[in-house]
Structure 1
């Protein structure tokens, strides 16, 4: 059940590095629908492709929308998987279309940010939440006394199995 709320406090049982990838678009000129709508509509195909082909390396993703900006937060198994996806599959077609049809036109902007995080450089806590973020990507576990503080979780003093 995707929206099941897990009562209590949870964290990630750290043990693997992860790549955090932010990608999205910003509508700069609302009236230029013919420019920004194709960019907006390119994302669902990529989301579908990544969701149904887990071997591509995308572990999980979350979507966020604001007035002008979309944000897709993704967690990847490795930077090599992300790079491989960017140079093929649905993304390459969308990237080529963007460059041909939009290029430097100011009507719509795009962005991405990539963060490669060693397991020793992240910490998580989820309270009364459905599976979300890294907890959704890597799996979450109940907080134990060994992981009951920020410092303990960051240092990897996680779970006693």
Structure 2
């Protein structure tokens, strides 16, 4: 899917705090392809669910694949993320329990995540000649104008909002 590139400079406009969730896996024993595929395919089901269930609270994401994968996602709140993780009807809890029961500690596949709650006053972003990406893709963007040309100015503006 081609994305439009926006010439010029833009900044993200979250308007409120953001929950940034990083998650990934590492194929420690990459030759165990069926195991790696089983663990990795669970994320595809989760993303499909979250894409068609906006009330779950995920605003957007980007992912990269390789021996170590990473998915960066943006959420309305940590509570939305935690609710999704614990929801018996959502496609996270069962695969996680399966992983913990069958693979945790085996060394075949590693999984990791980090969660950051970023107050609106601490958000600064700029994109130059990019498609909507990252936080801007999740919450929108506006052109950089006078008073928003430097990181310091954008941080000052986010604190004033």
Could you say which residue in structure 2 is the equivalent of 1:60? 60
C-alpha spacing 1:156/1:2, structure 2 compared with 1 (3 Å): farther
C-alpha spacing 1:98/1:157, structure 2 compared with 1 (3 Å): closer
Q: CA deviation at 1:120?
A: 0.9
Q: Is 1:12 the counterpart of 2:12 in the alignment? A: yes
Q: CA deviation at 1:139?
A: 0.3
Could you say which residue in structure 2 is the equivalent of 1:82? 81
Could you say which residue in structure 2 is the equivalent of 1:155? 156
Q: CA deviation at 1:110?
A: 0.1
Q: Is 1:91 the counterpart of 2:108 in the alignment? A: no
**Structure 1 length normalisation: TM-score?**
0.92
Count of matched residue pairs: 157
Structure 2 stretches lacking a partner, 5+ long: none
C-alpha contact (below 8 Å) 1:64/1:71 kept by paired residues: yes
Q: CA deviation at 1:127?
A: 0.5
Cα offsets for 1:24-45 (capped at 9, x unmatched): 1000011222322210111100
Could you say which residue in structure 1 is the equivalent of 2:111? 110
Structure-1 separation of matches of 2:77 and 2:95: 22
Could you say which residue in structure 2 is the equivalent of 1:39? 39
Structure 1 stretches lacking a partner, 5+ long: none
Structure-1 separation of matches of 2:28 and 2:150: 42
What is the Cα-based RMSD across aligned positions, in Å?
1.5
Could you say which residue in structure 1 is the equivalent of 2:26? 26
C-alpha contact (below 8 Å) 1:2/1:130 kept by paired residues: no
C-alpha contact (below 8 Å) 1:122/1:154 kept by paired residues: yes
Could you say which residue in structure 2 is the equivalent of 1:132? 133
Structure-1 separation of matches of 2:99 and 2:14: 38
**Structure 2 length normalisation: TM-score?**
0.92
